[in-house]
Amino acid sequence: MIPKNWEDRDFYKELKVDKTASFSVIRAAYRDLIKSLHPDINQSQNQNDELVRVNEAFTVLADPNKRALYDQYVGGPEQIFVNQPLMAKPRASVNSKLLSRSLLFIVLALLVRNMNYPAIVPATADIPGQNSSSTQSNSGSTPTTGVSDPNFNQTLVLMAGPQGAPGVAGVSGKDGFVGLNGYQGSDGIAGAPGATGATGATGATGAAGAAGVAGVAGAAGAAGAAGAAGVAGAGVVIVSLAVDDANCALGGTKFISTTGTVSYACNGGSGASLGSGFVSVGSCDPEVRLTLQSNYTGGDFMMAGVTLSELSGLCNNQTVSIYLNVKAVGEGVEKFGTANTYQLADVIICTQVLSITAGSATNTVVLGTAHCTNQNTAGTRANFVLGDMSARDMKDGERAIAIQISG
């Protein structure tokens, strides 16, 4: 009979495909069902039984030979025997041949019986009146003596003969061909991701990498808070000298330092010294020489620079600041310089970071046009340069010049 697991089963319905579906359609439907019945997705109690049934259905429908047998089973009343070859001859045809041969044999026997053979004369010993005691019985199923039936045909008896004993069992047939390999199963569904493992211990700090290339300079930071006010610088007293002065025939300026040293800056000549004197600047150097330089240009003495000399190397890398005060506004006060980049009562600031020899006590530093600006930067004053200012516009008296050196 058919395999037990085929009975009362509709494999097409179990795979949810039509009976005319191709192999690719059956395989796609099978994979979809396997995914839906995977234990990671389907947790129903009968999930395993459904998975087994789907696998059995696909095993039959994926094999062309098994599918043909199954289609024959579900399509008619024929019974399919287990291990029976697909192309085996039906038993009904074998029985038909045996029946036809038997009928042919009976027809031949009847023909022989009706032929005109000479009558069989019974032997004397077989006549009942002559010798009743000599009658013998044949041990076979058909008597050979004492036959008095005129219709008895010995030829038919010889042809039929008694039933013989069962024949010896035939030799076993050869083993059948090895079946084809089954289709390779489809890949299973990927398992769900495992839980995240515990964080491992922190590894040892690696060696420091090589220094990277210097980055592009960033934008200038916001201006820092104003520093604390420095120690007040020592003042230099400036006294203007008129023409025909005993020390300066063309007039000039008299400087009196904080130590009482008096010097003169007389008018006349280019590159002349407007005045010079010693001033106290703080802890790095008790006293330095300060000299105002001027140039005689266009009929007036114009400021050219400020020179610090005899400066101690202890002031190296510190900042020197020199304040030049323009004379104040007042009745009868005249501004000699024509440039509009400074006005009366302005303050000119000259600043420089000192870069001098640390072990020397006779360093010299010149602060010129590049180091001096107008403290008042409103309007055209922002364009001030030191050469714009007339030396005659310097303030007279105390606090005309202030200087300080700070770290």
Within a domain: residue 134? no
User: Of 75, 93, 112, which residue sits at a domain end?
Assistant: 75
Q: Residue 157: phi, psi to the nearest 5? A: -65, -40
Within a domain: residue 99? no
| Domains of the chain: total | 2
Which range of residues forms the domain containing residue 22?
A: 4-75
* Secondary structure (H, E, C), the chain: CCCHHHCCCCHHHHHCCCCCCCHHHHHHHHHHHHHHCCCCCCCCCCHHHHHHHHHHHHHHHCCHHHHHHHHHHHHCCCCCCCCCCCCCCCHHHHHHHHHHHHHHHHHHHHHHHCCCCCCCCCCHHHCCCCCHHHCCCCCCCCCCCCCCCCCCCHHHHHHHCCCCCCCCCCCCCCCCCCCCCCCCCCCCCCCCCCCCCCCCCCCCCCCCCCCCCCCCCCCCCCCCCCCCCCCCCCCEEEEEECCCCCCCCCCEEEEECCCCCEEEEECCCCCCEEEEEEECCCCCCCCEEEEEEEEEECCEEEEEEEEEEEECHHHCCCEEEEEEEECCCCCCCCCCCCCCCCCCCCEEEEEEECCCCCCCCCEEEEECHHHEEECCCCHHHHHCCHHHCEHHHECCEEEEEEEEEEC
Please tell me the predicted confidence (pLDDT) of residue 206. 85
* Consecutive 10-residue averages of pLDDT for the chain (407 residues): 82 94 95 90 87 93 93 65 46 72 89 62 46 42 48 50 76 63 68 85 88 85 69 67 71 74 66 65 80 86 90 90 89 87 93 92 91 94 93 81 85
Within a domain: residue 170? no
CATH code for the domain in which residue 61 is found? 1.10.287.110
Please tell me the predicted confidence (pLDDT) of residue 10. 93
Within a domain: residue 186? no
User: Of 28, 58, 75, which residue sits at a domain end?
Assistant: 75
Within a domain: residue 138? no
Within a domain: residue 267? yes
User: Of 47, 75, 103, which residue sits at a domain end?
Assistant: 75
Please tell me the predicted confidence (pLDDT) of residue 211. 87
Within a domain: residue 125? no
Its pTM stands at: 0.37
Within a domain: residue 179? no
Selection from 262, 254, 257 nearest residue 238 by Cα: 254
